Structure 1
Amino acid sequence: MSRVDAGELAGIRARHPEAVAEAAARRPRRTGLLGDHGRLMIVAADHPARGAFAAGGRPLAMANRPDLLERLCLALSRPGVDGVLATADILDDLLLLGALDGKVVMGSMNRGGLAGAAFELDDRFTGHRARDLARLGFDAGKLLLRIDYGDPASLDTLAAAARAVDEMAEHRLPVFVEPFICHRRGGVLRHDLGAEAVSRSLAVASGLGGTSAYTWLKVPVTEDPGEMRAVLETSTLPAVLLGGDTGPDPDRAFGQWRDALRLPTVQGLVAGRSLLYPADGDVAGAVDTAVGLL
């Protein structure tokens, strides 16, 4: 991995903050989201803005920004990787590093529901707005929609998500909605990955806003991967698979991803920590394996 000089980036930001907008303006863009293979492969790195740093068994792995940027630059350089999902601070760094040329750039929109906070489900839109994405010439946005039937804060998030879908449609920008039915257990928020809960979450997400023309779904693998076909029949919206933590058995996880990627509405894969912080430390190898699944 090439080295990233944090001091140089900070110096550019201090002396010439306009450099970010200038880099965005001259960034070569590609037409359409899907790659030459007709699929979409996105590397995700929007976790730190929620105060979530753990990766690869290291509790503060993603707190080292130069290291994260180096891993992202390496991942983005691999054949078949279409782009990145991240918050403004990380995307601004990648713009300054010239790592986003010809890539799909997806901005993370709501990051206010900090991991472990009492207000986690009141997930405010503290990240990119639709007009920010349009101004910078970015290609899409992503929002997280966590719904707890026992927490009134979920309604505020639901309403805000619907307005974000409307605003993205007004700018003709795709928005990737990542929905979960969840509940608190021992004070910790848990996602329900049962087939019924995932189906319900997809139905709710599909109906947000005044049009679904620009809405995509970001879908987790269910607890029983054999139920994915029935779950994805809940909606006709295009979907990408959420490549979550592969755990101690990455081969099994990759196999589940491969099976789900064969389903008719699934257009690609969005994966983050499992690729950027693999157990064996081989970022390029992990990314190439994921690309191979497509």
Structure 2
Amino acid sequence: MDVSELTHVRARHPEAVTEAAARRARRPLLNAEGRLMIVAADHPARGALGVGDRGLAMANRADLLERLCLALSRPGVDGVLATADVLDDLLLLGALENKVVIGSMNRGGLQGAAFELDDRFTGHRPEDIERRGFDAGKVLLRVDYTDPGSVITLESTARAVDAMAARRLPVFVEPFICRRTPGGGLVDDLTAEAVTRSIAIASGLGGTSAYTWLKVPVTDDPADMARVMETSTLPAVLLGGDAGDAPGDRRAAHDRWRAALRLPTVRGLVAGRPLLYPADGDVAAAVDAAVGLL
């Protein structure tokens, strides 16, 4: 990856990003089978650079771009979810032709910050997604019943849902019920009851749900997941999450994904670090295995 060439273009011809977006070949959101396989890379903008015990694994931009370009080149990968800086690089590299492009909208809830749940919209605005000719947006919605910052994010998310719907653009809402640990850390509650509540909350945001999709975590028990997904008729994609480094962990995650992908409202999978930074380093194999589940 020639970072110096990218920087040269950015420094001397910043308009090249807009030009690349204007000529990008587009495609429908869903593939011919009505499915969606998306690689996620919006973590760095929230200061979340770690993968497993590698605290700064995602900090090397050239390495991340190489992994993304490889993932996007694999058969069955429909597109990418990322922030503007990453998408601009991929546009300049020509890696987004005939791909679904999803802009990450709120990244203000920095990992580990006291204001993490006051998740301001510091990424793509609806007008940016429309102007760039991208295909959808994504919102992270974490709710802690004891943290007033959550209500700001709830309201902001509802207005984003309205603004995207006004432009007839899909928006993927990723909801969690979460809580603070005694040490001040933030943890997501992935019990079936909590995920059910989060889906119910997310589904009701805004003046219309016509363009709202859900991006949901997978519960450990397939029976629980079936009941959880009965909460809404909105189309959903699965959140890949952290599959773990051990081969047994990855197999267990794949089994959960495979079972959940059979549910009637589930249309696909969005996964990031498990595909881009697998323990064995084989990005192509990790991506191909995930595509095979669809």
Same fold per TM (> 0.5)? yes
Indicate conservation of the 8 Å contact 1:56/1:274, yes or no: no
Runs of 4+ in 1 over 4 A off after TM superposition: none
Once residues 26 and 71 of structure 1 are traced to their aligned partners in structure 2, the CA distance between those partners, rounded to angstroms, is 24
Deviates more, 1:222-231 or 1:244-253: 222-231
Q: C-alpha deviations, 1:222-262, integer Å up to 9, x for none?
A: 24333000000000000000011101310111111000000
| Overall identity of the aligned pairs, in % | 77
| Offset of residue 55 of structure 1 | 1.5
2:139 to 131, 138, 143: 143
Once residues 184 and 142 of structure 2 are traced to their aligned partners in structure 1, the CA distance between those partners, rounded to angstroms, is 16
Per the normalisation by structure 2, the TM-score is 0.98
* Matched letter for residue 131 of structure 1: E
Q: Does 1:165 align with 2:161?
A: yes
Once residues 281 and 222 of structure 2 are traced to their aligned partners in structure 1, the CA distance between those partners, rounded to angstroms, is 27
Once residues 72 and 82 of structure 1 are traced to their aligned partners in structure 2, the CA distance between those partners, rounded to angstroms, is 12
Indicate conservation of the 8 Å contact 2:117/2:142, yes or no: yes
Once residues 279 and 142 of structure 1 are traced to their aligned partners in structure 2, the CA distance between those partners, rounded to angstroms, is 27
RMSD over aligned Cα atoms? 0.7
Q: C-alpha deviations, 1:62-91, integer Å up to 9, x for none?
A: 000000000000000000000000000000
2:66 to 66, 70, 82: 70
| Offset of residue 56 of structure 1 | 4.7
Deviates more, 1:32-41 or 1:76-85: 32-41
Indicate conservation of the 8 Å contact 2:220/2:256, yes or no: no
1:42 to 18, 38, 45: 38
* Matched letter for residue 62 of structure 2: P
Unmatched tracts of structure 1, length 5 or more: none
Q: Secondary structure at the match of 1:274?
A: helix
| Offset of residue 266 of structure 1 | 0.1
Q: Does 1:236 align with 2:236?
A: no
- Aligned position for 2:129: 133
Matching of residues 114-263 of structure 1 within 5 Å: 114-185=110-181, 186-247=183-244, 248=246, 249-263=249-263
- Aligned position for 1:18: 15
Deviates more, 1:245-254 or 1:271-280: 245-254
- Aligned position for 1:272: 272
Deviates more, 1:51-60 or 1:160-169: 51-60
Q: Secondary structure at the match of 1:233?
A: helix
Once residues 58 and 52 of structure 2 are traced to their aligned partners in structure 1, the CA distance between those partners, rounded to angstroms, is 10
Once residues 115 and 57 of structure 1 are traced to their aligned partners in structure 2, the CA distance between those partners, rounded to angstroms, is 16
